[in-house]
Amino acid sequence: YITSVALGEHDSPPRWVPRDLCAKLEGRRLKGLHGSDTRQIRFPEILQRLLPRTRLASREQADWINNYFFDKAATALVEPCRVFHVVSSVGLYSARKARGFGARLVCDVRQEHPFFQRRILEEEAARFGLAVSVPSSSYEDKVLEEFSLADYIITPSQHARRTFLSQGVP
């Protein structure tokens, strides 16, 4: 199991971790997995959280940095497998490698189709006379390629599923 910052089922947070972050880590406890069954890639998420605070990058830029570097680092950890499950926006490069091993690919999506999101944001911004800020095309291109590689896509709701179907995703 390749992840960012998480705790195995019986792991304890390091003593130096502040109490508020310990509570957050509890929400990332991997039930059923021992720490030795996981490979953690922490640095990209640390950057993602620190860069906006230092004003060296916007939140969107920091998200992109996290997603890109996590995926690149995860690629080195991908081993031959029958099924490879990725979370959308952080799995393109590792999914390509798993596909090279002949794996079936499952893409776990956490939102609606990006074209649906873009349309809704643009409509609402126009309705209220606001400037719209939508994810960059590099983000869209990456997730669209993940979708095209996937044998299966898991959506969080029937609503999200319908947005994929409306974009021609089987």
Which pLDDT value is given to residue 162?
A: 96
Task: Give the model confidence (pLDDT) of 18-44 as tens digits.
Answer: 777 778 777 877 888 776 778 888 888
Sequence-separated (6 or more) residues with CB below 8 Å from residue 66: 4, 44, 45, 47, 48, 90
pLDDT at 15: 80
Summarised one tens digit per residue, pLDDT across range 33-89 is 776 778 888 888 888 888 888 988 888 888 888 889 999 999 999 999 999 999 998
6 is written with which tokens?
């998480």
Nearest to 94 by CA among 110, 79, 111: 79
Q: Which one is predicted more confidently, 99 or 19?
A: 99
Amino acid 145: pLDDT: 94
Q: What is the dihedral of CA 9, 15, 21, 22, to 10 degrees?
A: 40
Over range 118-142, report the average pLDDT: 83
> What pTM value is reported for the model?
0.81
Per-residue pLDDT, averaged over 90-106, amounts to: 96
